[in-house]
Amino acid sequence: IAEDTLDLLQHVKFQSSNFENILTWDSGLESAPDTVYSVEYKTYGEREWLAKEGCQQITRKSCNLTVETGNVTELYYARVTATSAGGRSATKMTDRFSSLQHTTIKPPDVTCIPKVRSIQMIIHPTSTPIRTGDGRRLTLEDIFQDLFYRLELHVNQTYQMYLAGPKKEYEFMGLTPDTEFLGTITISVPTWSKESAPYVCRVKTLPDRTWTY
| Site residues for another protein per CB under 8 A | 42, 44-47, 73, 75, 77, 93, 95-96, 98, 100-101, 190-193
Nearest approach, Cβ of residue 64 and another protein (Å): 22
Nearer to another protein among residue 46 and residue 178 (C-beta): 46
**Nearer of residues 47 and 60 to another protein, judged by Cβ:** 47
Nearer to another protein, 58 or 100 (CB): 100
Of 101 and 176, the one with the shorter C-beta distance to another protein is 101
Least Cβ distance, residue 73 to another protein (angstroms): 7
Measured CA to CA, the distance from residue 95 to residue 79 in angstroms comes to: 9
Contact (Cβ atoms closer than 8 angstroms) between residue 179 and residue 188: no
CB of 193 to another protein, least distance (A): 6
154 Cβ contact partners less than 8 Å away, ≥ 6 residues apart? 160, 181, 182, 183, 184
> 66, 55 in Cβ contact below 8 A?
no
Tell me how far, at minimum, the Cβ of 46 lies from another protein, in Å. 6
CA distance 94 to 103: 15
Tell me which amino acid residue 94 is: T
